[in-house]
Amino acid sequence: MQLKRLKRTNSVVGIHPLKYKIPIPLRDLRCTDGVGNLLTFGRIRRPSQIVVLLHGLNDSAKNCAQGVVHKWAKGLPRALIAVPESPERCSWTDEADVGYDWVYTKRDPPWDAWEEHGSKSAYYQASLKEYHRVLRKRCRDLDLWIEMLLAKYGLTDKDVIIAGMSLGAYLSAMVGARRNVRGVIVSGGPCTTEEVRFDTLLPKTSSAAFLAVNGTKDDLVDKSSVENILSRYQCQWHWSKGVGHDFPTEWYRVQLKWMQSLFGEDAT
């Protein structure tokens, strides 16, 4: 496989909603516990909408944003587009093009443990437990970061869309569903949902609208599993026939059109 490794009613369990009375400089949203680098595009001053774009495994904010965010910013003129980066480097990344991992674990990830040791092995169970712990912690960090971002601009969850690419779809789905944001995009994911037992990590209900954009030939995305997991939500589907884990330009156009509709923007 390619993959390697408030108490609040509508948010990630364990974080209390924060009340910030002093405006937060944008630079202070970089290098928090859950976010390393941060790239911002579009309307930086007084946005009325926010789109958070989460990169995949062994990817970076810069690479994830390339060729995408400027078109999104043009199509969503009232939106700030924020592209955070995990603070954890991928353990097997290329130093010439460093990639990052939202869920960095000491053990092999569950999909490798499943394949090498079996789904009933103690090794797999330990891997799964660690992965869930780290993933939940990263979601709590991201949740707090979003709380700070909203406080800075005086916005609410209904002004937010969270888009996750590949492994980033774990976080967009978990955080977005619990926060009941306006919209959640999962693209090229969620991956390896059976091995990660992703269905156990999501709330049973959410008012967030979902868009799932995937390819029918993606070895990392099981169509029936993903459709079953997201059937609990209001989800729009886009399956590209014959496409794998490739992220063609068409996908980003589909996502932009959906965001424009959700935000009530005129399509361009």
Domains, the chain: 26-263 (3.40.50.1820)
pTM across the whole model: 0.86
42, 69 contact by CB (below 8 A):
yes
For 60-182, list the strands marked E by DSSP: 79-84, 160-165
**For residues 105 and 3, which has the higher predicted lDDT (pLDDT)?**
105
Percentage of residues in the chain having pLDDT higher than 70: 86
pLDDT of residue 102: 94
| Predicted local distance difference test score (pLDDT) of residue 4 | 39
Orientation angle between helical segments 110-117 and 122-153, nearest 10 degrees: 170
Residue 3 has pLDDT above 50, yes or no: no
> Any idea what the Cα angle at residue 104 is, between residues 129 and 238, rounded to 5°?
85
For residue 157, count other CB atoms closer than 10 A to its CB: 20
* Residue 6 predicted with pLDDT over 50: no
3-state secondary structure of 91: coil
